[in-house]
Chain A
Amino acid sequence: MAAVAIDTPKPASPTWRNFREALRRHPTAIAGCVVLLLMILAAVLAPWLATVDPQAVAPVKRLKPPGEEWWFGTDMMGRDVYSRVVYGTRVSLTIGISVALLTTVFGMAIGLVTGFIRWLDAIVMRVMDGLMSIPPVLLAIALMALTRASMQNVIIAITLAETPRVVRLVRSLVLMLRDEPYVQAAVAAGSTMPRILWRHILPNIAAPLLVQATFVCASAMITEAILSFIGAGTPPNIPSWGNIMAEGRSMFGLANYLIFFPGICLSLAVLAVNLMGDGLRDALDPRLARRM
């Protein structure tokens, strides 16, 4: 007979305890959070981090290799790459977080409505299937070709390209939840639709949606860099990581640090967000965690 511990102290909140325990089991998720926090700090404190004006041109100092005076070297216009990379953190994080927020809001709104209104469902989902058949990077490129380069337009283009996937997730969750006994009971008891959505549906889709948002954030940061890298992203006067790398493209044999420093920062940022997302998924949805 296995000994059963009867008198274990009951924790205040099992959910919160599971959450903390899962985090403890995933040190990589904590590492991701720490890196991300440091990057957010760098983005906020960019002007005070021993940086010079990221746009200051100094032809005399062009293409200096990394060293004492220029930590990450200088580019072909004599601009300080370290300062540009630090300021680039702002662009990447702003775009990643904005796209994650916007796709979550739009995806949730469209997904909730289509999940509950059956005649709309068929139409909206065919449109989403169509949009999802255009590879997201390609759709973002096509949209950027229509407008002039600006950070706002980059955010809109990537949001449009990423939203269908979130809609699909929300809809499938709603379809599943709609048939749950407690939702049926609420409907039978005459709860209003907004109340059912708010009390029963939202709390149950929040966790997967949050996890999805972290992956959208990571994917948006990569897409922004790709767009900027091929010249269809943020305008050249904004020092984004993609732009710095685009400018370093023709100089790779001469000054590979122009690619490597922003490239490593971008990879680190995306890795941090992905690790955080993996940790969150494990913590919030133990069923999924065992599988993935």
Chain B
Amino acid sequence: MFAYVARRLGATIVVMAVVAFVVFLLLYLTPGDPAAILAGDAATSQDIANIREALGLNAPFHVRFGEWVWRLLHGDLGISIFTKLPVTQLIGQRVGPTLSLTLCTLFISVLVAVPLGVLAAARAGRWIDRAVMGFSVAGFSVPVFVLAYMLIYVFSIELEWLPVQGYQPMSAGLWEWASHLILPSIALGTVYIALIARMTRAAMLDVLAQDYVRTAQAKGLAPRAVLLGHALKNAAVPIATVIGIGVALLIGGAIVTETVFALPGIGRLTVDAILRRDYPVIQGVVLMFSAAYVLINLAVDLSYMFFDPRIRY
């Protein structure tokens, strides 16, 4: 068991190192001189040279990479060109809405998708199976922002049930907080639900064809007990895997969702940074999101031990 955990941790560190290198490369290849950008318009060439020296921009590639990693390990992601604030501080200010949105979406999606997938597998070939699969294909095809605007049009503008845009922290009241997250979570979650439901169905169909399921049915166990106790438990590993991998979709989609619903989160920060070409912020966000993605998938990998005791090599 410890060997398995150690191996997964080792692999995660290697992957994070590659991610860090790619992100550093992006920063390194940035067009324009960061010193000149930081110095501003009124700077003399001597000022720029001083800043270059102070930032260590004259050092060779490997030295700069080493220093960058060293600062990174101390939680320093650099300074935003536009706001002159530390990138970690900017991300920290925006983390609330993004965390609320993604966690809400994750929660709703898993709660909807897994039962849908189980139901579709249990009634394979019937109308409910076809409906779930049809929804799944449609969910893959409608881009998140198109869906978001459709939801805003129906539920906010026509029916006036929910707010059009904006964000309220949980301290403003639970309903205030939730009402601003319902539509964004549905918009963002649809593609995720499609993905998980599809994988759940496929994994369940695989397991339902196994001998031990037939044995369980033959010995007279209730269909529900077979479906949940025998089949779903054994189908858990691929389902957990796709939930982890699908977080990449959530992160990409969150950027767009926050833009449409004017949520002041990290996605919004990313879009502002792109429009202003604020490279340190872009790198910081890419690094942070990737780290979150890698850690979530590490957690998923470790959860295999719980679902399947055989995985302890």
Contacts and interface: CB of A to CB of B under 8 A. Distances in A.
Given A145-B277, A146-B29, A146-B31, A136 B252 contact: yes
Interface string A158-175: 000000000000000000
Q: How large is the interface on B (under 10, 10 to 19, 20 to 34, 35 or more residues)?
A: 35 or more
A94 B65 CA distance: 38
A130 B256 contact: no
Given A138-B255, A146-B31, A245-B145, A130 B137 contact: no
A222 B141 CA distance: 8
Contacts of B5: none
B254 to A, nearest CB: 9
A271 B141 contact: yes
Contact of A232 (B146, B274, B285): B274
Nearest to A278: B137
Which of B146, B153, B279 has the most CB atoms of chain A within a 10 A radius of its CB?
B146
Contacts of B14: 126, 129
B37 interface: no
B146 A136 contact: no
A223 B152 CA distance: 22
Interface in B281-313: 282-283, 285-286, 289-290, 293-294, 297
Contact of A230 (B248, B255, B293): B255
B289 A230 contact: no
B3 interface: no
Interface in A91-143: 126-127, 129-131, 133-139, 141-143
Contacts of A290: 205
Given A133-B293, A226-B145, A263-B149, A143 B26 contact: yes
Interface in A228-247: 229-232, 245
B18 A230 contact: no
Interface in B3-26: 11, 14-19, 21-23, 26
A141 B255 contact: yes
Nearest to A292: B202
A200 B254 CA distance: 43
Contacts of A133: 15-16, 18-19, 290, 293-294, 297
A138 B137 contact: no
Contact of A267 (B19, B143, B277, B279): B143
B141 A267 contact: yes
Contact of B149 (A136, A223, A256, A274): A256
A127 B18 contact: yes
B143 A222 contact: yes
Contact of A146 (B19, B30, B140, B152): B30
A218 B141 CA distance: 8
B270 interface: yes
Contacts of A155: none
Contact of B286 (A134, A260, A291): A134
A198 B283 CA distance: 41
Given A226-B256, A263-B149, A291-B205, A135 B289 contact: yes
Contacts of B21: 130
Contacts of A232: 271, 274
Given A138-B290, A142-B286, A130 B202 contact: no
B149 A260 contact: yes
B176 interface: no
Nearest to B273: A145
Interface string B138-169: 10111111100110110001000000000000
Nearest to A137: B252
Q: How large is the interface on A (under 10, 10 to 19, 20 to 34, 35 or more residues)?
A: 35 or more
A81 interface: no
B275 interface: yes
A242 to B, nearest CB: 9
A259 interface: yes
A278 B138 CA distance: 12
B142 A131 contact: no
A245 to B, nearest CB: 7
A225 B144 CA distance: 10
A267 B144 CA distance: 10
A144 to B, nearest CB: 7
B243 interface: no
A28 B141 CA distance: 14
Given A126-B18, A141-B270, A266 B31 contact: no
A67 interface: no
A1 B253 CA distance: 58
B206 interface: yes
B109 interface: no
Interface of B: 11, 14-19, 21-23, 26, 29-31, 137-138, 140-146, 149-150, 152-153, 157, 198, 202, 205-206, 248-249, 251-253, 255-256, 259-260, 270-271, 273-275, 277, 279, 282-283, 285-286, 289-290, 293-294, 297
25 contacts: A126-B14, A129-B15, A130-B15, A133-B15, A134-B23, A134-B289, A134-B290, A135-B251, A136-B248, A141-B270, A142-B286, A145-B277, A146-B26, A146-B29, A222-B143, A225-B143, A230-B255, A231-B271, A232-B274, A252-B149, A253-B157, A256-B149, A260-B149, A271-B138, A274-B140
Interface of A: 28, 126-127, 129-131, 133-139, 141-147, 218, 222-223, 225-226, 229-232, 245, 249, 252-253, 256, 259-260, 263-264, 266-267, 270-271, 274-275, 278, 290-292
- List 8 A-B pairs, minimum CB-CB distance, nearest first: A130-B18, A137-B252, A263-B146, A271-B141, A135-B248, A270-B141, A135-B251, A267-B142
